[in-house]
Amino acid sequence: MAKTTDIRVIATKLFFLPVKTRIPLKFGTETLTHVTCARTELTIRSSNGDNATGWGETPLSVQWVWPSTLPYEAREQTLKEFCIYLSKAWSEFDNVGHPIEIGHDFQQIELPKLLNSFNKSQPLREPMPWLAALVCCSLFDIALHDAFGKALEIPTYKTYSNIHINRDLEHFLETAAKSDATFTGKFPNEFLVSSPPVTMQAWHLVGGLDLLEKNELTGDEPDDGYPVLLEDWIQTDGLTCLKIKLRGNDDSWDYNRLIKIGNIAKDNEVLWLSADFNCTVTDPNYVNEILDRLMIDHPKIFAMILYVEQPFPYELESNCIDVHSVSARKPLFLDESAHNWQLIRLGRELGWTGVALKTCKTQTGAILSACWAKAHGMALMVQDLTNPMLAQIPHMHLAAQTGTIMGIETNSMQFYPAASIAEEKIHPGIYKRRNGRVNLKTLDGPGFGYRIEKIECTLPEPTTVYGNAS
């Protein structure tokens, strides 16, 4: 039965915001030196005829969403064109309901058709992948959730109950075979944290090109007041958690990188490490042998590894690798593979034990995935797409509200801190890490609590304007 709070989308505006890195960030075989953030202002209309606007933003991280030998510029331009394509589609999507219902229906019904049609029209020799489509879609979906909270003048996460949602989780999710879990009569709020933390431990990414020691300095490093060497970052921000990017195709390099960073971590009282093998591993023994060597030769470093992240190709359905042997050694988290709850279900069958959520795969998808994973006893983490500016805020909420194995990954202050200076003035606690933690106390307004009216940021003219917000 329809709710009096039901809404529909009536208009969108799309902006592209270029950002340059202060130091390079390596993704697999590619290196990120700049990124375009896609931002939208989305307008909704409630059943009583009132309008409200919401904001969403996602960095179009080309190397992560679309690994390929195609030129970077061609892939980036294709992503931007698809964002434009989606901006129009969202403005014309006339489904009515709660943002989770609208977002789910758009992703299940419209997005596959739109991606197929778009790919057929493109001259590139390779189609844009589904993960890229999700990332392009995510800014509109995030803005939808923000607008709904603002329309009701309450935080977005207070809207995830039967008071505002028409359909229970059974309409969106199915349980695993031989599971006692049930979604009948249940709503997302029942799987969220009852008292979300105000502060969380911050994970720092150690990229494959990141400098570790003074002898690695070349003199070309940025002189902008921010640290360069890992030890300086640890001391400056009080870090206690490090995520280590590995190659996944060079076991000697990966093993030695873990030891080198692990020793720096021990010397600086870091508590936890995670190992990200970069989606390139095809044989579980690759990971097992590295972990086993660490356990024997460097037991302290082995003990510090809290979990292992996505060693295996993210096309899970075409790479159904049994990974129980890896998860028997360390918790094993899906990241790139976790496009939706169906793939999480498959991952669980194959031996994965945890899920790394990202807002860039849509807010709706992240919430539904969190519900499915928690109902089936899987641990959660919230991973960063190096989110600057507005993109950082829903990211922070997701970690606090869903509950993670340990804090949240935060990378934008390492790679492009200057991009978020305007937002930092209003929300200093989420753009600077103090004593190894981030602080969410300023995110207390309606929607996601952006307080966008206080952020002194001049946007360019919108790339597109669709619909009628009047």
pLDDT digits (tens, 9 = 90+) for 102-117: 999 999 999 999 999 9
With 0-12 CB in 10 A as exposed, 13-18 as middle and 19+ as buried, what is 394? buried
Check whether domain 7-174+458-467 has CATH 3.40.190.10, yes or no: no
Q: Where are the domains of the chain?
A: 7-174+458-467, 190-448
Mean pLDDT for all residues in the chain = 95
Q: Model's pTM, two decimal places?
A: 0.96
Q: Which segments of 132-175 are extended strands (E)?
A: none
Cβ atoms of 52 and 98 within 8 Å: the answer is no
CATH class of 190-448: alpha beta
pLDDT at 32: 83
Q: Which burial class, exposed, middle or buried, applies to 185 when counting CB atoms under 10 A from its CB (0-12, 13-18, 19+)? A: exposed
Q: What are the pLDDT digits (tens) for 237-269?
A: 999 999 999 999 999 999 999 999 999 999 999
Per-residue model confidence (pLDDT) at position 28: 67
Sheet hosting strand 51-59, strand order edge to edge:
51-59, 30-46, 7-27, 464-467
Q: Choose among 398, 354, 358, 397: nearest CA to 377.
A: 354
- Phi first, then psi: give them for residue 19, nearest 5 degrees: -135, 135
Tens of pLDDT, residue by residue over 12-45, are 999 999 999 998 887 767 888 899 999 999 999 9
Q: Let me know how long the chain is.
A: 470
